Amino acid sequence: MDTTLTDNGLWERATFTVPEDTLEEQVQFKADVYMARFGIALEHQGFTVREMLRPRVSMRGAPTEQGRRRYDIFAFVSRLPVVTTMDIPDALVPEMLQKGMQLK
């Protein structure tokens, strides 16, 4: 069973390609650089990185340039809720409270 939403997060993916003749050991040796860049990009978007998986050969059937191999990095991220302030007509307050909005 997928517990992504109950774990208060979601999986994000980054993709990169390497020349076909690049050894797997070389990719994994440089993985920390790619993972750090991905983590920084996610944090700039307001996410908190909770877990990151090392690169693995992409199993998606996405087209890749001739002579290149595609890798995916997956990160489990969460984000703090965004607070939005709005005026709601009195008649709609009970419905909005039922949907999880909070009064202040």
Per-residue burial over 38-49, b if 16 or more Cβ lie within 10 Å, else e, is bbeebeeeebeb
Q: How far apart are CA 66 and CA 62, in angstroms?
A: 12
At 82, is the pLDDT very low, low, confident or very high (cuts 50, 70, 90)?
low
Report the domain count for the chain.
Answer: 1
Q: How far apart are CA 32 and CA 82, in angstroms?
A: 31
Q: Determine, yes or no, domain membership for 90.
A: yes
Q: What is the pTM of this model?
A: 0.68
Q: Determine, yes or no, domain membership for 26.
A: yes
Q: Determine, yes or no, domain membership for 72.
A: yes
Q: Determine, yes or no, domain membership for 24.
A: yes
Tokens of 56: 């693995």
At 6, is the pLDDT very low, low, confident or very high (cuts 50, 70, 90)?
low
User: Beta-carbon neighbour count of residue 77 at 10 Å?
Assistant: 20
Q: Determine, yes or no, domain membership for 20.
A: yes
Q: Which has the minimum average pLDDT: 46-50, 51-55, 62-66?
A: 62-66
Structural domain that includes position 63 = 10-98
Q: Determine, yes or no, domain membership for 1.
A: no
